[in-house]
Amino acid sequence: MSEKNVFEDAIARMERIGEEAGIVPEVISALRQPKRTLTASLPVRMDDGSMRYFTGLRCQYNSALGPTKGGIRFHPNVSTEEVQALALWMTIKCAVTNLPYGGGKGGVIVDPKQLSKLELERLSRAYVRAMARFIGPDIDVPAPDVYTNARIMGWMLDEYEAIQHKHAPGVITGKPIRLGGSLGRDEATGRGAFLCIQELAKRKKINPKKTRVAIQGFGNAGYHVATLLQKSGYKIVAVSDSKGGIYAEDGFDVESIYQHKQDTRNLRGVYCEGSVCQLVDHKAISNEDLLELDVDILIPAALESVIGPWNVERIKAPIIIEVANGPISGDVDALLHERDIMVVPDVLANAGGVTVSYFEWVQNRSGYRWTLDEVRQRLADIMERAFAEIWDLAQAEGRSLRSGAYTIAMRRIQEAIQAQGSREYFQGDTH
């Protein structure tokens, strides 16, 4: 693993790119630490009658461009450093896509698979009780992330509205449709990544039929990008989840894998049970093996820091699409760039999720519902524009796409911060 923790690594990357891009020191300083981070003890009555106390976190990183926005993660490895790194990346991501948001993130240190459904509901409500005065449609707007979903967002909204004694659907996004969720939010992260791959394919003349793809993580983001790619002719040769992965030279039928996982919660069994078993020759692989496969496109879509100094030399894919947040540690950015491995960075590749969350918030605030076609078209407009801006800047200046994305984002944040007054202004150098 990297010697720096994930937050230190995220800061070092932001500082490096900010300095290269000529961002003023005051703005880099503003982005060096979060505006505020709340840690709360969450009491939860367990099914056996006992009381357990979980740790809940919420970080509001920077709000120069608008209310902070970011998901809530339920995972045993959640930590202050992780939440702060994720909130910094959200700050960059919202600016990359030009959304009127700052960046935030939240989490609970818990293995949700160990909880009953009722315990999970009580935990979700306890989180909102602890955070209710800290979040709000104009303050900080949560959403789903790893191991949280629309149902959990629904419980959280219900708790918030009970506390506030009013409807407030704009406080949280990724909700069930009937509670004010947006059509297309469930697929948005995967679709946004797919749109980036299409934009890349146009520019690099990629032929989908000759392109082999490996995807680590088969949750909301991983599944949707897999299915959209397969429908466009790409060959999905490897997928994995927390228990390990499967590989097949001739590719998988993504829908069968998904259905099997829904039915059994198990990925590996998929081609060994029933009739498909005979049709597809596959082998079991580990999550580490998957990253090192000789494929054309590698998509990490699970957790952060899976590619770093420990395995970067063995990465063979010439294109990496960062659907997960922070899957590549900052200290190998330069090495990947030197090796001509093209990385579509997380702050662009997975920005489809927050973009449709923004559409959901806009619909909630205007009391209007958009059709699925409208959502998809608006998402495509934003992703294509963001991709083109980053691509053009990276090409013009010989920089990586990550460097291009951070530069665009930090310039926007800088403009907002300086609009409130800059050193030059107060010294009388500008009017």
Residue 236 sits in the site that holds ligand NAD (CB under 6 A):
no
Residue 39 beta carbon to ligand NAD: minimum distance, rounded to whole angstroms: 20
Dmax over CA atoms of the chain, in Å, equals 77
Let me know if 203 is exposed, middle or buried by CB neighbors in 10 A (0-12, 13-18, 19+).
exposed
- For ligand NAD, give the closer residue by CB, 409 or 417: 409
175 contacts 191 by C-beta, under 8 angstroms: no
- Strand 319-321 to 342-344 pairing: parallel
**Ramachandran class of 11: left when φ > 0, alpha when ψ lies in -120 to 50, beta otherwise:** alpha
Q: Which is nearer to ligand NAD, 74 or 160 (CB)?
A: 74
For 19, other C-beta atoms within 10 Å of its C-beta total 11
Among candidate residues 105, 175, 235, 261, the one labeled active-site is 105
Q: Does 103 bind ligand NAD (CB under 6 A)?
A: no
Write each residue from 302 to 321 as x if it is in contact with ligand NAD (CB under 6 A), else as -, in one continuous string.
xx------------------
Torsion 12-13-18-20 (CA) sign: positive
- Binding-site member from 126, 172, 228, 324 for ligand NAD (CB under 6 A): 324
Active-site residue 105, yes or no? yes
Q: Is 124 a binder of ligand NAD (CB under 6 A)?
A: no
Chain residue at closest Cβ approach to ligand NAD: 219
Q: Which stretch binds ligand NAD (CB under 6 A): 24-32, 235-243, 365-373, 393-401?
A: 235-243
CB of 285 to ligand NAD, least distance (A): 11
DSSP designation for 5: -
Name the 3-class secondary structure at 76: coil
Cα dihedral value 31, 193, 386, 67, nearest 10? -40
220 burial type by CB count under 10 A (0-12 exposed, 13-18 middle, 19+ buried): buried
Question: Which residues, 6 or more positions from 428, have their beta carbon under 8 angstroms from its beta carbon?
Answer: none
Q: Examine residue 34 and tell whether it contacts ligand NAD (CB under 6 A).
A: no
329 binds ligand NAD (CB under 6 A): no
Kindly state whether residue 145 participates in binding ligand NAD, applying the rule CB under 6 A. yes
Q: Which of 7, 218, 271, 361 binds ligand NAD (CB under 6 A)?
A: 218
9 touches ligand NAD by CB under 6 A: no
Choose the stretch contacting ligand NAD; rule: CB under 6 A; options: 2-10, 144-152, 246-254, 373-381: 144-152
323 binds ligand NAD (CB under 6 A): yes
Pick 27 or 101: Cβ nearer ligand NAD = 101
The reply on whether position 54 binds ligand NAD by CB under 6 A is no
Tokens 């107060």 sit on residue: 426
Which residue's CB is nearer to ligand NAD, number 158 or number 289?
289
Number of shown-chain residues binding ligand NAD (CB under 6 A): 24
Binding residue for ligand NAD (CB under 6 A) from 63, 84, 173, 240?
240
Minimum distance, C-beta of residue 397 to ligand NAD, in the bound complex (Å) = 27
- Distance of closest approach, residue 24 Cβ to ligand NAD, in angstroms: 29
CB 229 within 8 A of CB 236: yes
In the bound state with ligand NAD, the residue whose beta carbon lies nearer, of 34 and 144, is 144
Q: Does 74 bind ligand NAD (CB under 6 A)?
A: no
For position 259 contacting ligand NAD by CB under 6 A, the verdict is no
Please give the Cα distance from 247 to 236 (Å, whole number).
Answer: 9
> Binding to ligand NAD by residue 146, rule CB under 6 A?
yes
- Among 189, 230, 329, 364, interactor with ligand NAD by CB under 6 A: 189
Residue with tokens 């927390």: 242
Closest CA to 24 of 389, 398, 431, 421: 421
Nearest CA to 346 out of 2, 5, 66, 86 is that of 86
Outline where DSSP puts E strands in 86-165.
102-109, 140-144
Q: Does 241 bind ligand NAD (CB under 6 A)?
A: yes
State yes or no: residue 115 binds ligand NAD (CB under 6 A).
Answer: no
Task: Answer yes or no whether residue 287 interacts with ligand NAD by CB under 6 A.
Answer: yes
Residue 301 makes contact with ligand NAD by CB under 6 A? yes
Nearer to ligand NAD, 44 or 347 (CB): 347
Q: How far apart are CA 269 and CA 387, in angstroms?
A: 38
Compute the distance between CA of residue 83 and CA of residue 70 in angstroms, rounded to an integer.
Answer: 10
Tell me how crowded residue 26 is: count the other CB atoms within 10 A of its CB: 13
Tokens of 321: 């699409």
Task: Return residues touching ligand NAD (CB under 6 A).
Answer: 144-147, 189, 216-222, 240-242, 287, 301-303, 323-325, 350, 353
* Residues annotated as part of the active site: 105
